[in-house]
Amino acid sequence: MPVQFLSAADHTRLNHCPDDLPHSDLDTYFQFNTEDVTILSHLRGDTNRLGFALQLCCLRYLGFFPITCLSCRKRLWFMSLSS
């Protein structure tokens, strides 16, 4: 029998990208090495490369794929502009 141990609010919070990402975490988890670039170069289309790259970074940082990467994408875009 399944047991629910998270409240609805906790579940929602944990399934999305955090509101604030420290710059040290951006440097650690959101940069690509040579192997990553090689994999990305074999994907077709800019959209596929961007989607794969975003999912790869979210997986590294969060340890799972969030329900929607849209919140991560917006935060990372604005944070990259402010750097």
In this prediction, residue 83 has a pLDDT band, given cuts at 50, 70 and 90, of very low
Residue 29: both structure tokens together: 């988890």
pLDDT tens, position by position, 33-62: 999 999 999 999 888 888 888 888 888 888
Rg (CA), the chain: 15
Mean pLDDT of 57-71: 74
pLDDT reported for residue 6: 79
pLDDT reported for residue 13: 72
Average pLDDT, the chain: 77
pLDDT above 70 for 28? yes
Q: Which long-range contacts (CB under 8 A, 24 or more apart) does 69-77 make?
A: 69/17, 71/16, 71/17, 72/16, 72/17, 75/17, 75/19, 75/21, 76/21, 76/26, 76/30
Q: Which residue has the higher pLDDT, 39 or 17?
A: 39
